[in-house]
Amino acid sequence: MYPAPWLPLRRLSVWAEERAPAALLSLKVLLTLLAVAHLALVFLLPGGRNTFLALEARDRLPHLTFWRVGGAFGFPDFPRKDGFIRYAIYAQNGSVQQGSFPNPDIRPDLRYTRWAAAGRLVSGDRPDMHAKLLLYLLEHLPSPPLKVELFAGDWVLEAPPITDGAAVRVRRLGTHDGLSQAWKPVSRAGNQ
Amino acid sequence: VNPREPVWERGLRVWLQFWFDLPSVTALAFLRIAVGVVLFYSLFVYSFDLSGHLSATGWGDLTVLRQADPVAWPFSVFDWIESTWWLWIAHSLAMLAAGAFALGVIPSLTGLLSLLFYLSYGHRNPAVMVDLDALLVMLLVYLILSPCGRVMALVPELFRRPRRYPLMPPEPDPPRPPWGAFMIRLLQLQLCLMYFLSGISSMFPEWLSGSLLIPPGLAERGLPVGLEGFRSSPTGAVALAFALTLLSLFYGVLVWLPRFRYAVLGVTSLAHFIVGVMWGLLAFNMLMIALNVVFVEDEHLEWVRHRVGPLLTLPWLPAPPHA
């Protein structure tokens, strides 16, 4: 029994059956054209940015199927310098604990790579991040320190690096006074 | 070939054959396992610094960090989480999803879950995103949309009648849907684009002189392994930089020629292995080697699967009923 006699089901099914192969073919062709368009976009805007054609997308994080131009062999984007943070913690018993962020002794390598990316960002001219990093350091100390000093360092390539290695430039970012619990950043003018 | 076939029809046929007539699901299965294992490893490595990188009491102000690398829709499941305890629960779920994806347990669902979780890590703290993350996200997207769980998957093999051991070659051969071929073509073309873009971006004097093979600060960690060899012979560094650039530039041409295909795949895999071991970039380069599998002929992958599969059976299970 027909649930809806006004529907020309037989004619519709014949119509659909006749057109199904053509519809499938059209879908396939459309899919391949979309794929070509997608790959063209990947080529023009890898990772949202094309340094050669000076194009840039709003969304800069390499997303979904976009690939950042860099080393397909995993080398980072050829940095000339690599930033990191050094700290000196003056404890109440008179000892001085020095360390760097990221810690080069961290293993495995992938873990260090993530910390190195963080260190690169924090060692820049970001006073807000320096203050937050100081809080993080203080939270992980067993006892309140007398003083904490933060420095930003850069490994800088100086030619020829393969034979001579890299030089280090360090600048002071600020000091945390344990008594007043205050963080005094170094002003940018006197930061060298 | 029908000589009376119109040119446009022949062109259309060849075009569609290129995209849809590559009967392989084995390459996708191999790639799924590799992506799942590396994803699991990457999440495992996150475990050491979970609260440091992702919690509100971490080393960075998460609001400021997000502004450093804005995205259109910065969703993150970790935004719903306040306590460290829940952070660990979500992280454990992410690892569970990655493990299930590697084993082939409903890969379209577990892959989608893994993708959402993995993007959540990147969106929560984009400052610790590395190239490996971009590659993993890209491969997850492709694999979710592909039939990557047809073979070498745990659940379909267990539920098969008669029951068979996990990872044993199924009988008869599983269906090979045309969208699997489409995904393999997309992966092949994207891989060629990646190498080519990498090649042209490294064509500048500093890289070709071998200077940038040692990123600043890397020597602090004792990397690359064999650094002293480079120092005593800078020519070796120049040769390696040139070789990597040339390989990247011409990979996309030579790999399509059957005569050169396996030579190119072999050299590329060797280069990835050397770079991965010497520079401490093993996870990324292992994934790239796995990605090169999409260019291996299906019959060769089948040969490997039918020989390796039985070795991976679980010996403590009772014998299969049909044995």
Chain B interface test: which of A34, A82, A130, A162 (most B C-beta within 10 Å) = A162
Structure tokens, B252: 């996309």
Q: Which of residues 247-306 of B touch A (CB under 8 A)?
A: 248, 271-272, 275-276, 279-285, 288
Residues in contact with B207: Cβ distance below 8 Å, sequence separation at least 6, in sequence order: A78, B241, B245
Task: Give yes or no for residue A188 having a pLDDT over 80.
Answer: no
The Cα-based distances of B103 to A139, B87, B137 in angstroms read: 40, 25, 18
Q: Which of residues 111-130 of A touch B (CB under 8 A)?
A: 111-118, 121-122, 126, 128-129
**What pLDDT is attached to residue B189?**
93
CA distance B309 to chain A (A): 30
Task: Give yes or no for residue A27 having a pLDDT over 50.
Answer: yes
Phi and psi at residue B141, to the nearest 5°:
-60, -45
Structure tokens, B150: 């047809």
Lowest-pLDDT choice from A52-56, A142-146, B177-181, B223-227 = A52-56
More confident residue, A138 or B226: A138
Q: Which residue of B has its CA nearest to A116?
A: B128
Interface contact flag, A128 B64, Cβ < 8 Å: yes
Task: Give yes or no for residue B102 having a pLDDT over 80.
Answer: yes
What is the amino acid identity at position B207? W
What is the amino acid identity at position A182? A
Interface contact flag, B141 A61, Cβ < 8 Å: no
**Residue B126 near residue A104 (C-beta atoms within 8 A):** no
Can you tell me whether residue B202 is helix, strand or coil? coil
**What pLDDT is attached to residue B271?**
94
Question: pLDDT, tens digit, for every residue of B239-297?
Answer: 888 999 999 999 999 999 999 999 999 999 999 999 999 888 899 999 999 999 999 99
Q: What is the mean pLDDT of residues A79-90?
A: 81
**Residue B95 near residue B39 (C-beta atoms within 8 A):** no
Can you tell me whether residue B57 is helix, strand or coil? coil
Phi and psi at residue A98, to the nearest 5°:
-110, 150
Interface contact flag, A60 B213, Cβ < 8 Å: no
Phi and psi at residue B253, to the nearest 5°:
-95, -50
